Structure 1
Amino acid sequence: MEKASAGGRRPRVVMLPWLGHSHIFAFLELSRKLVQRGLTVFFCSTPSNLAAIEAKLRQDAYAQIKPMEIRLPPTPGLPPNCESPATLPHSLIPLLSKTFDSLGPAFLELLRDVDPDCVIHDVLPWAPAAASELGILAIPFLTVGSAATSYIFGKAKGGHDFPWKRRLPDACALLKMDEALDDADGRVSIKQRMADCLDKSGSIVACKTHVEIESGFLDYLSAMTRKRAIPVGLLLPEGGDEQCRQAEWLDRQPGGSVVYAAFGSEYFMTKDEIREIALGLELCGLPFIWVVRFVHGPDGGEEMSLEESLPSGFLERVTGGGGRGMVVGGWASQMKILSHGSVGGFLTHCGWGSLTEGIGSGVPLIALPLHLEQPINAQVAAGELGVGVMVEREEDGGFKGNKIAKGIRRVMVEEEGAGVRRAAEELAKRIGSERDADLEVVVNEVKSFACKRRERGAKDGKQ
């Protein structure tokens, strides 16, 4: 039985993330912290995504989180049981998003059954709409940075002049980013989804960030949205039981000598991009671990094999015979790799989840933003915080292997990178064991709303 508080049952929260892995795991970490503070948490996702975190939910720290299943309807063109961007070619992700957006009525019925006090939701405008219909508190949880959110929200509203002009990417990257944010592809555009989501929610916004990283941006976001932006921490994954298959190899490398390269689970690289990254890792002359998750086919459709995508002879040259590199196809335990003492640099796309894991681990960043809001994230890390450097780009926004190698060596080897390495280490120490005072604002908001809701219900019952 659920332990009752003085005011009745524990406050109930339904968590609703987008289907991407980084979103799901950020919501899972926030769920863990909410359970620790006396809230009952229902974690809502699709069957295959819940199955993917089943082992995690068996761990003591997560065992009280209650899985709640919501099913995607059969959709022509969408393969069955493919319920994550990581399982689909890039061309089908818009269809997955559109299908997920059709779940508003089903989600409303789930809320009726569970009767929560609060929904903490991703950038899904239909979630706060369902909560509002039932008189339930809706709190958006943003798994992107506050700087990027401010920029996106301002673009949607029009007329907002982003005050950190020097922190914006160059004109070419900015144009590509704006085009991606404007792209609707049969759906509501990303920038409009963000605005609709924030407009329809309650008086606070939970943000996956830390005051040491984005204090000024949080204040600006609060002023723009007229809601209080609450930094709930970096929410780095708890150390689990999963094995780091690269640990033995890492143990043999000198301290701070390895560059770790990974580019997220939702960006599909072209063959040319893969080859330039391979060239950069080869030219830098340092030991490396490179996680390769996706490769676009020649027509932008089907995934290519690892061997097809890499330069001829690359694997033999860098990994054969006790070579200095490891190429990992698929998944790797990123936090365990980043926290290993032999890792001294992180070549990253600057997705917010990866960027915060690098910052939290004290590993300096070699920033190679590829898509959506990542150029702003990269500017925050390299320009605002000084914990990384940007890879120099070509005039058309592309990148070359020699410039990647230059960025890696600048951070990890050359004297000018000493300040970056020191800044990364010091920032990680300041963040330390994350302050939870700001998280208590979210918890207290939920508890207060739940109490008032119970009081209203009791009064209505007497009438």
Structure 2
Amino acid sequence: MKKIRVKTKMTMNNTLKSEVVVVMVPLPAQGHLNQLLHLSHLIAAYGIPVHYAGCASHNRQVKVRCNGWESESLTKIQFHDFELPPYDSPPPNVDLISFPHHLLPLFKASMHLRQPVSVLLQQLSGKFNRVIVIHDLVMAYVVQDVKLIPNGETYSFNPVSAFYNFLYSWISIPDKEKPFQLDSKDIPEGIPPEDDGFSTQDMTEFFLNQMKFLGFESGWIFNTSRIIEGRYVQLLERLPTTKSQRNYFALGPFNPVKIKSESMKNRHQCLNWLDKQGKDSVIYVSFGSTISLTDDQITELANGLERCGEKFIWVLRRADPNDIFTEADKVKKPQLHADYEERVKDRGIIVRDWAPQLEILAHPSVGGFMSHCGWNSCMESISMGVPVVAWPMHSDQPKNAFLVSNVLKIGVMVREWEHRGEIVKSITIENAVKTLMASQEGKEIKMRAANIGEAVRGSVAEGGASNLERDAFISHISR
């Protein structure tokens, strides 16, 4: 990484004053926390001080689950552990469309971070010539006081794909007011429509209320690469906005694309098992931190993995509760038939704790990823060159799955979105896995995924597209 010189200035009392500081304000949900922690590492590598502001339990959570970086890299980031007021905390729901509405009380409570974050920004504004706030789009209310700080500047982090963001923006513009015409390739046929299967009404209202506090940010940041979504970043740049000078920065992938050898200490047991498997022979199965499959669906998935004949690592766990350290007892652990693990022991293992996903995807034995297609998981899989068996559940996941399978053509769908209310049968799961892992179509998909992965990894090397965009962003905030 090319070093960008961070300037300093002499203040009126002749003390040295740093030019810029960055404050991260994430939404307290794993996929959001993780992306901004990755970005914190990238910015800190330029020698810029980074402060990560959140509630104490979720700061602890994101540090415990940090994957792919050297352990001492966390010492370069200053964490601010704030407390939240008491809030209702229902257990995660278990459903075929497992939208995590149990998180809404936590999200509402996190709005109380406004006051301590405002105090932190005021303190930093006296020590630095410019305070850069990078906040999750859904934390706009919390950071609204930045506009009262004369040397403050905000950038909204959009935690979804540019593809999803453009489609959402485009659909919201009346047909008569569309600013330009699209090529038929820009919006292919078959994209899942926006409907009540994506979210819940109360969560949607919460998100929309956050949007009311946007409008003074200096730019939007995406965890994507122009190698993957350049066309959709360009289309976003062409859309009219309330700020004529809004900048779009595609700084991804945020996650490291080469796993440091130091991070391999105290390896998870599944990595030792992977060492014994053939190249590209294992499919990794995981549905992230917000999905709880029903018992019937778990049974069908277990049977499908057993019948497909392929090797697999299956992360079998329920969705995270609001506080993973104090509310674990609220989450009923999923069960398998007593002899299942014995039957599949020669070609499959079950992981019931938090899995080191980046290290798994980076392992040469992994040849596929059955995923819910959260954007964090998509970027990690794409950057490692691993194709996807797409099984979206909620939110932006259906459109991410469509991007992966129908636009980039580096994945296959388990089932179409219109059948989301039905249990996916074992034969359907078996066929999807076999298509990717044991067919000519699968070979072609794997080759495309490998090529895109290589291009993405090249983009973060010196002189690559993402590396240059990161350098430009650092120069911009350090100007």
- TM superposition score category, shorter chain reference: 0.7 to 0.9
C-alpha displacement of 1:281: 1.1
Partner of 2:372: 349
1:263-412 aligned within 5 A: 263-294=287-318, 302-307=330-335, 310-311=336-337, 313-319=339-345, 323-393=346-416, 396-397=419-420, 398=422, 399-412=424-437
C-alpha displacement of 1:314: 2.8
Instruction: Identify unmatched segments of 5+ residues in structure 1.
Output: 83-88, 449-463
Select which of 156, 167, 177 maps to 1:151. 167
Structure showing greater relative contact order (alpha-carbon pairs closer than 8 Å, 6 or more residues apart): 2
Deviations 1:31-75 (A, max 9, x none): 122122232111112212233355769834342211122221123
**Counterpart Cα distance in 1 of 2:62 and 2:319:** 25
The TM-score normalised by the length of structure 2 is: 0.80
1:234 aligns with 2:241: no
**Counterpart Cα distance in 1 of 2:475 and 2:320:** 46
1:13-412 aligned within 5 A: 13-54=22-63, 59-75=71-87, 77-78=88-89, 90=100, 92-115=102-125, 117-123=131-137, 124-135=139-150, 136-154=152-170, 164-166=186-188, 169-170=191-192, 174-178=194-198, 180=199, 183-185=201-203, 188-190=205-207, 192=208, 195-196=211-212, 199-224=214-239, 226=241, 227-237=246-256, 239=260, 240=263, 241=265, 243-294=267-318, 302-307=330-335, 310-311=336-337, 313-319=339-345, 323-393=346-416, 396-397=419-420, 398=422, 399-412=424-437
Secondary structure at the residue paired with 1:188? helix
Partner of 1:86: none
**Counterpart Cα distance in 2 of 1:42 and 1:61:** 13
Classify 1:302/1:63 alpha carbon distance in 2 versus 1 (closer, same or farther; 3 Å): closer
Given that 1:117 and 1:446 are in contact with CA atoms closer than 8 Å, whether structure 2 keeps it comes out as no
Select which of 450, 464, 467 maps to 1:436. 467
C-alpha displacement of 1:419: 1.1
Partner of 2:3: none
Classify 1:387/1:428 alpha carbon distance in 2 versus 1 (closer, same or farther; 3 Å): same
Classify 1:152/1:70 alpha carbon distance in 2 versus 1 (closer, same or farther; 3 Å): farther
The TM-score normalised by the length of structure 1 is: 0.83
Secondary structure at the residue paired with 2:314? strand
Q: How many residues align?
A: 422
Given that 1:386 and 1:423 are in contact with CA atoms closer than 8 Å, whether structure 2 keeps it comes out as yes
Instruction: Identify unmatched segments of 5+ residues in structure 2.
Output: 1-5, 11-16, 93-98, 322-328, 461-465
C-alpha displacement of 1:242: 5.1
Secondary structure at the residue paired with 1:37? coil
**Counterpart Cα distance in 2 of 1:167 and 1:329:** 38
Letter in structure 1 aligned against 2:46: R
Secondary structure at the residue paired with 1:43? strand
Given that 1:206 and 1:442 are in contact with CA atoms closer than 8 Å, whether structure 2 keeps it comes out as no
Deviations 1:227-247 (A, max 9, x none): 322100111145424523212
Given that 1:271 and 1:296 are in contact with CA atoms closer than 8 Å, whether structure 2 keeps it comes out as no
Deviations 1:263-293 (A, max 9, x none): 1101222223322222221221111000122
Given that 2:117 and 2:143 are in contact with CA atoms closer than 8 Å, whether structure 1 keeps it comes out as no
Deviations 1:285-327 (A, max 9, x none): 1110001221699xxx9533232xx3564333223xxx32111
Partner of 1:453: none
Secondary structure at the residue paired with 1:166? coil
Secondary structure at the residue paired with 2:364? coil
Q: Greater share of helix residues, 1 or 2?
A: 1
Given that 2:121 and 2:131 are in contact with CA atoms closer than 8 Å, whether structure 1 keeps it comes out as no
CA RMSD, 1 decimal:
2.9
Given that 1:72 and 1:103 are in contact with CA atoms closer than 8 Å, whether structure 2 keeps it comes out as yes
